[in-house]
Structure 1
């Protein structure tokens, strides 16, 4: 278990390229091409983390300033997923989440219950977290293991359910998202999308990024929208003119750089995805395999990014008016794109408009 914990401590940007390299060799991809593919994915994750840190370092203080300026009584702070993942993998059960989830995945693939081969090993921390919570609450070791097995099975089920939607909307052949932060969004998005499509008036709303840009011209451009949203957040935070403008430019930078980093991830994943498909067709004729990856592949899409920026002040608004809430959203404000990635795909990019509808329902 110490070896597993050490491997996990390397982080996704190191651990995932190693796993993908080994996986590519198993698929029969030449070592040089396999190494380059894994390395490119690792570089993409480094770049993506830099962009997310840029967003966090700017949005976090602005959110805190908004709470302070309006004298909002939120006594606890959300520390975000980095702390949660470290805690999850550091518990008695935590490091067992990886072998347990892999074994469950292999068994389900072998008997044909799932089509998802999950190579996103790092994000098994979600499974580790739920198992650890149950163990902490009950002191029952086997109940914690059972919880991890059920959680892993649910993630693979949701990944299968969302695979075709992900592949069609994000143009990601053979890819799906067995990601604990984004996959559960299907359970909200599918019934709401069905409902919205049947409400007169609302079913006519088509505020996808392309339509917005066409109608608004330069003001519909994602980077310009990012600048405007950043400036509005700066004004709400009562920043100085200089800091407000800096926040606007930094937000615009995130809107432009995020898709570039995602393209690097895709560049590295393409040969592996193609190799996996060829391998499956050769060994299991007639079967189709989905490669399970981090929903980071989707966060650079314009509807996801623009909707996420709109969600920042709305999330703070909900935190203020939610009865009994004492938690200030902070650490995970920059991970909102991950949480809504699958929802955006289900809503077919008509997300900013329908996002507001969802928020009104929640409020």
Structure 2
């Protein structure tokens, strides 16, 4: 897909092939590091749940199960080409500057359409919901593109990733309020400041080791497993920026060529952003640190939050993606980002609880539920503000008989 896009923007065949393969290899590297993160944080979270005796009736099965449920609906097969055409039309009409080449994450739009189909059984409303979700993501990606490019150093890139955009849409205004609270507004704990104050103990690698060790202690691990978790999280913090840098080496020639082609055709002020996975944000230590700190915080919020029935589990390791736009807007301030993230997670848990019935119905017969779980939800889909709004719209449409 990326190779074809490169050719469309008049990149030489050899250069297009090299760029596409470099991006592919970069994504393999990023996925390897993400897998290191998830395979370590998942068991630690489960151990915390057992150790502290958390008892909630709905299990967060995580985005992989939500994605499988989305692809398993009858409507899903027609949505990808419809969404691709929609994106191109919106660019031509200058509604958006983002060309979403992150085809895998179209599952978020497919999920919105699938939820609409489950609620209304209407194909037209399902397609409309998926298109609306894409429009929201593209507009949010445009709105936050400057933050993404300046903070993460990703020139010409935006994040139309559904979960990051939904959490960012709520979190960015909340973070602006947090940043004005007396006593908190002057707290600035970005990665650079921490490194200056604490020397080697403030380096990203050491931050990962310390945070990983703390999570291991909370999980009740023995000394050996605490140290192992710490080293693995330090490895994530050190390796992820290198993987992102490799991917960007492949993206830059395409981004530059796309800009030149569009400016020649539409004028010097015409811009286009390549929409990529928010996983690229994990190349910043502040994003990973914020996400890791929110893992135990999210579990404790779930237990004390009145009305919540969702036990966070499957999506805990992907919290860094959810806070990526919040961290960028706060310019890496970990204190402000963690406070904002905690507030947004609390709201997401309410939405995920409300989403339980439809979420469970969507996954039945498609994925295997965790042992003892009769009902499921997720932070990624169920706690997603855009999905929740479209769910409520679908319920209204069904109730008044528009379909």
Aligned-residue offset at 1:362: 6.5
| Residue of 306, 310, 318 corresponding to 2:289 | 306
Q: In the aligned structure 1, how far is the partner of 2:335 from the partner of 2:29?
A: 26
Structure 1 match to 2:222:
240
Q: Specify whether residues 121 and 233 from structure 1 end up closer, same or farther in structure 2 by C-alpha distance, changes over 3 A only.
A: same
Conservation of the 8 A alpha-carbon contact between 2:213 and 2:230: yes
Q: In the aligned structure 2, how far is the partner of 1:315 from the partner of 1:103?
A: 38
Question: How many pairs align?
Answer: 345
Conservation of the 8 A alpha-carbon contact between 2:75 and 2:126: yes
Structure 1 match to 2:34:
52
Q: Specify whether residues 116 and 33 from structure 1 end up closer, same or farther in structure 2 by C-alpha distance, changes over 3 A only.
A: same
SS in 1 for 2:164: coil
| Residue of 194, 201, 204 corresponding to 1:222 | 204
Q: Does 1:349 align with 2:359?
A: no
Structure 1 match to 2:45:
63
1:48-82: CA deviation from partner (whole Å, max 9, x where unpaired)? 11111111111111111111112111344322222
1:116-151: CA deviation from partner (whole Å, max 9, x where unpaired)? 111112111001001101111111111111111111
Structure 1 match to 2:181:
199
Structure 1 match to 2:272:
289
Q: Does 1:153 align with 2:119?
A: no
Structure 1 match to 2:238:
256
**What stretches of structure 1 of length at least 5 have no aligned partner?**
1-18
SS in 2 for 1:267: helix
1:134-189: CA deviation from partner (whole Å, max 9, x where unpaired)? 11111111111111111111111111111111111112111111110111233223
| Residue of 121, 131, 140 corresponding to 1:139 | 121
SS in 2 for 1:77: strand
1:204-223: CA deviation from partner (whole Å, max 9, x where unpaired)? 12111111111111221111
Matches within 5 A, 1:41-190: 41-190=23-172
Structure 1 match to 2:366:
none
Q: In the aligned structure 2, how far is the partner of 1:152 from the partner of 1:357?
A: 25
SS in 2 for 1:182: helix
Aligned-residue offset at 1:361: 8.2
TM-score, with normalisation over the residues of structure 2? 0.82
Which stretch of the first structure deviates more once superposed, 87-96 or 116-125?
87-96
Q: In the aligned structure 2, how far is the partner of 1:357 from the partner of 1:263?
A: 28
TM-score, with normalisation over the residues of structure 1? 0.90
Q: In the aligned structure 1, how far is the partner of 2:285 from the partner of 2:344?
A: 24
Q: Does 1:332 align with 2:305?
A: no
Conservation of the 8 A alpha-carbon contact between 1:189 and 1:346: no
Q: In the aligned structure 2, how far is the partner of 1:54 from the partner of 1:361?
A: 26
Which stretch of the first structure deviates more once superposed, 70-79 or 239-248?
70-79
SS in 1 for 2:165: coil
Q: In the aligned structure 1, how far is the partner of 2:104 from the partner of 2:342?
A: 31
Q: Specify whether residues 327 and 154 from structure 1 end up closer, same or farther in structure 2 by C-alpha distance, changes over 3 A only.
A: same
Aligned-residue offset at 1:296: 1.6
**What stretches of structure 2 of length at least 5 have no aligned partner?**
347-403
Conservation of the 8 A alpha-carbon contact between 1:231 and 1:244: yes
Q: In the aligned structure 2, how far is the partner of 1:140 from the partner of 1:219?
A: 56
